Each structure stands twice: as C-alpha cells, then as structure tokens.
Chain A
C-alpha cells in the first residue's frame, strides 16, 4: 500500500494578506479543526501551521492524489469559504517536496525575513497542539522533530540567522543612525500591507514606544491597529497626528502620493525640525521622493532599503545555498526512513532476513551432520522451511491486517526494530526520545 505526505497551504508569496487572514486559524480553533481534519477519510495524521505569514495543512495518508484534493476543500470549508476563493493562492507539495517544504519553513528559508527565528517556535507550538489532540503520529512526529533539528543545524552551520537581513531590520538599523534610541519614539503606519505590518511589528519589537495606524478606511485601520497593538488614527486628521510621528511607514499605494513635501514640511515645523525617518515600502511609491530634500527628513524607499541590504547579499546567498544543501541531505535521510515504512517491503525484508538465516544455519547443520541420506536431508530442510513460515505467520498477518490503517506505521516499525531490518538496524531514530 502506498503512503503519502501532502502539504497544502499558502504563504506571503502565494497569497495577499487579505486571503491569508481569511484562512488563518485562531488559537482556540486549532484543536477542533485538527479533530475534523482527522475525521476525513484517508487522513492518518495531520498538523496545521498557522502564522501571520502562512497557513499550511500537512497530512499523512495513503493516497497523495486524494489528499491533494481533500486538503484545499478542508481549508476552505473550515473558514466557510468556497474552494474557488483559494484557487491560485494555494500550493500543494506531495511527498519529498512536502518534507522539503516543511524543512525549509523550519529553517526559516521560506520566511519573508529569511533567517528570522520566530518561525521555529511557532512550528513547535503548532506541532504540540496536534500532538495534544492525537492528530500527529509516528510519521509527523519524526518529520517535525527532524525539521527542528534541521533548523538548528542550518542556524549553527550557516550563520543565516545573524544575517537576518531583511527590509524590516535594515529599516531598524537605519533608524538607529537617526535616533539615539527607539524607545519613546512614535511610528505611523500609513495604509496596510504585509511588508508594512511586518516592519511596524519589527520596530515595535525593537522598542519603538507607540504606533499609530492610518488607513483610508478607518475600520481597516482599527483592525490593523488591534493586530499590532497600535492606535488607529483618522485619515482626515492626518495633519494633526503626523507631527507626532518620528518614523513614518508608507505601505499603501494609490494613484497619488499619500504624502508630499508640503505635508511633511508642516509636520517638521510643528515638531521643531526634529528628524523624521520615512520608510516607503509601497510599489508604486506612497510618498513623494521629493521629501528627501527636506532638511530633517530621511526617506528610504524599498529599492534604497534593498540597496542597504545588498552589501550583505553575497554572504547571505552563500549561507542560503549552504542551508539548502543541508535541507536536501536531511530530506534524503528522512525519505529513506519514510519509504521503508511500507508493509510490502517490510514483509519482503522480513522474509529475506529469515530466509538468509535459514540458509546459513541449514548449511552449517548439514555440514556438521556429515553424510546424510537424501531423505533425512529433505526432512531437515523441510523443518527449517516450516519453522520460518510458522515464525513469519503471525507478524506478517498482523502487518497485512493493519496495512493502510492508523496503526500501520507502528507495526512496521516494531517489526523492523524487532527483527533489525534494513537501514533501521543501525540508523534508527537517532533523535527519538523513547530510545
């Protein structure tokens, strides 16, 4: 019987935040959702990962094609969406690809901020939630734990984390060139958008005291402000609140610039020319480039920030390449283990092993007995064959009986360990806590 791992999901690259937030799972929803996932026919194990940048469902079952059809429907159904609403935003990875994807996510190679460390913690959290409701089994247990150790390897061997060079951290680094400390400074987020929110989050994490959120639709400003722990401010009253902002993040683009030199000149005068750091993340740009000419305004658009990052890009690319190599090697190792989990090869291996033992012992015995007549010889041989078949009967029956059900991998692994089969004999579960 076939076995398969399928991962279906969307992330910051495949889907805009408007779609991502529709399918995100809140903390309380995760347990019930996992139970419903397990109730689906053909799903043996499952885990859901839901962060602000990605929502992914990983499932183990018997049929990759079937799972690939099932999971998008599940994801849409969980959020009362039509499946069509997600088309074009979802990616589906099966088997090796699914494992690789998970490893890359854990190693923060798939993050918006490559090398950022939070994702590993989030992954652990979501795996623990799945383990709690019994949704993860042997395969996902090993797969996730392997992904954690891959992440650790990547971090310690490539130094990619130190070079978590991102637009957001470049912005923070530049802000340090302007402001003595970020504590007590106010930031203003203009418009919504993944990049803007991430940068605002990053700034808050780095100690920026307060965040104002302005949006053309005030409701949206309220939502974003709530998510980030900021304060929504009305779009119409921007002239009043703008002078309070030491950092301005432009995140929404429109037909026209959101801010021009006149508005910022007013703000500067109001704040007695204390400097303003303006970060324009929008494409097309949200802020008139002419404001950089104002004394006390430091404008960086997305290209400038990328240019700032570019210094380190060579080193980063090298680190990323090395990380990918590590991931690839670990996927290979995992895949070797995973494919050995099938019933048929296990039975074949079991037979081969006992057959080999039988042959060896038979020859040794016959040699020791010296000249036997053919009748006796046949009797001894028959004895050995019968013995092997009798020994094999119960395990093989058990394996066959549990083929394709949830206990399958348990019996397969038990058989492989008890009889020391194949590669499992030496390299079994190096990171398994039970050992």
Chain B
C-alpha cells in the first residue's frame, strides 16, 4: 500500500470514529464524545490532506480530476468547512450528519480508487485548481445546507409530534438550523456561480468556445436554477422552515445525481476526461 493510500485509509478510520463520536454526542449526556469529535475529525482532515498532496505530487497536477479524486476532494472540503463552523460554534448534531457523509464520500473514493491518471495537455492550466476548487467548494457548502436541512426536518418533526427533549437533547434549535441553511445557500450559490464562470472562461481558453452541451454544464445550470429560486423565495417571499429545508434537500439530490451520473456514465468532458 502506498503512503498516499495509507493516509487516506487512516483518515477514513478517523472519520468513522468521528461519526460514532458525533452520534454518541447527540444521544448521551456525557461531554466526552462531543469534545472528541472535532479532534478526531481534525486529525482525519490532516491525513486526508496529506493523501491528496501526495497524490498531486505523484501525478504532477492537482489531484482533483478522476472520480475517486473528486469524491475524496469533496469530502475533504466538507470536513474543512464543517470544522470552521464547529470552531465558531459547536454543533455536534450537525457533525452527526456531516461526519457520516464525509465518511461515506471517502469510503466511496476508496472503493473506486484508480490511482493517478495523466492529465490531457489541454487541461493543464492554472484554471484547473481555480475552477474545480470553486465548484467543489460550492458543492461542499450545499452538502452542509443539506445536512442542516435534514436536521431541521428531524427537529421539526419531533417538535410537532410532541416528543420530549430528553433524547437527542443536542439537536440545534430550528432557528439555528434555518439560519445555517440560509447562509449556506448564499455562499453555495456564490461559489457555484464563480465555479461556472471560471469554467466558461477556461472552456474558451482550452477549446475556443464558451459553451458546450456538456451534461455537467447542463446539470450545473439546473442546480444553479434550483438554488437561485430557493434563495429568491427565501429573500422575497419569506420561504423558510420545512419548505425551504425540503427544497434544499431536493436541490442536493440533483447535485448528487449529477456528480455520480456524469462520472459513472462518463458523460461529456467532465465525465470522461477525468
């Protein structure tokens, strides 16, 4: 096993431990798992970053092009953003969604692990890290919005059903989750827009045309549309709560579909080149 793979698997293990700690942290009174979760996750993040760096060094370009690299990179960004939020305000319940999600993504990356692949010369550009970085940052933020929305629906259901606050005591308030959803939507949309704009510029630089009917591009417009409508609704019509959470989850479902679909079916430039 290469050093890179060893780092990745260790990170995977730590993500799993963090997920267990987060789930325990939601369910039990004791402080230990809640204190442990960010540490496990942080250590995992460092190892994960090391794995990605090793791979990039080996490949000679940012390792964000193949399907397994994409999954791995997305997990890395998700964990990093979550840790930033967690540092500002501990939200163990959010960790209980994010950690399993990050674990799942990394596990999938490990499952479809194919090793580095040479980059077509046409894509060897400074735009690669910029475009992919922005786009995936946007995806990670949307994943967080999804996590917050999922928690919102759980908490809202519990409150409606008059279930006591005894179990799952550490769920954040509806207000907190709704606000998080809003911030994530704003940031996610900004990042996605920038990702798309840089993509268009890069496409022009690489192929001489701004536009192609690449499935990923079409999907991105669809996703952008969904989130833009949702954000618009939130800002103008005062959408919030259950409805906003449901739409956020729907938007993320399309996002996942695009990510998996394009890569598994090797559609278009985004699917086959990388």
Interfacial residues, chain A to chain B (CB-CB below 8 A): 170, 173-174, 176-180, 272-275, 292, 295-296, 298, 300, 304, 307-312
Query: B: which residues have CB within 8 A of A?
Result: 155, 158-160, 162, 164-166, 171-176, 179, 238-243
The CA of A273 and the CA of B240, in the complex, are separated in Å by: 7
Task: Write the chain A residue with the least CB distance to B171.
Answer: A177
Evaluate whether A307 and B162 lie within 8 angstroms (CB atoms) in the complex, with A180-B179, A272-B238, A295-B243 already known: yes
Q: How many A-B residue pairs have CB under 8 A?
A: 57
Please name the 3 residue pairs, one residue from A and one from B, whose CB atoms are nearest each other, closest first. A272-B238, A180-B175, A308-B164
B162 touching A177, Cβ below 8 Å: no
A275 touches B175 (CB 8 A): yes
Q: Which residues of B contact A296 (CB under 8 A)?
A: 240-242
A263 to B164 CA separation, bound complex (whole angstroms): 27
Q: A176-B173, A177-B171, A304-B162 are in contact. Are A274 and B240 (CB under 8 A)?
A: yes
CA distance A300 to B175 in the complex (A): 18
Contact status A180-B165, CB under 8 Å: no
**How close is A121's CB to chain B, nearest CB, in angstroms?**
28
B166 touches A273 (CB 8 A): no
Q: Which residue of A lies closest to B239 (CB)?
A: A273
Q: Judge whether B173 and A177 touch: CB under 8 Å.
A: yes
Contact A178 B165 (CB under 8 A): no
Q: Which residue of A lies closest to B176 (CB)?
A: A180
Task: Supply 11 further A-B pairs (C-beta < 8 A) apart from A177-B171, A300-B162, A304-B162.
Answer: A170-B165, A177-B174, A178-B174, A179-B173, A180-B176, A272-B240, A275-B175, A307-B162, A307-B164, A308-B165, A312-B166
CA distance A173 to B171 in the complex (A): 12
State whether A275 and B241 are in contact (beta carbons under 8 Å apart), knowing that A177-B171, A179-B175 are contacts in the complex.
yes
Tell me the nearest residue of chain B to A175, going by C-beta: B173
A307→B158 CA distance, assembly (Å): 13
Residues of B within 8 A of A176 (CB): 165, 173
Given A295-B243, A300-B162, A312-B166, A177 and B176 contact (CB-CB distance below 8 Å): no
For B242, give the chain A residue with the smallest CB separation: A295
Complex: A274 Cα to B238 Cα, angstroms: 9
Contacts of B166 in A (CB 8 A): 308, 311-312
CB-nearest residue of chain A relative to B238?
Answer: A272
Picked from B165, B179, B239, the residue with its CB within 8 Å of the CB of A177 is B165
The smallest C-beta distance from B239 to any residue of chain A, in angstroms, reads 8
* Contact yes or no, B241 A273, CB < 8 A: yes
In whole angstroms, how far apart are the Cα atoms of A309 and B240 in the complex? 30
A352 to B72 Cα, complex, angstroms: 94
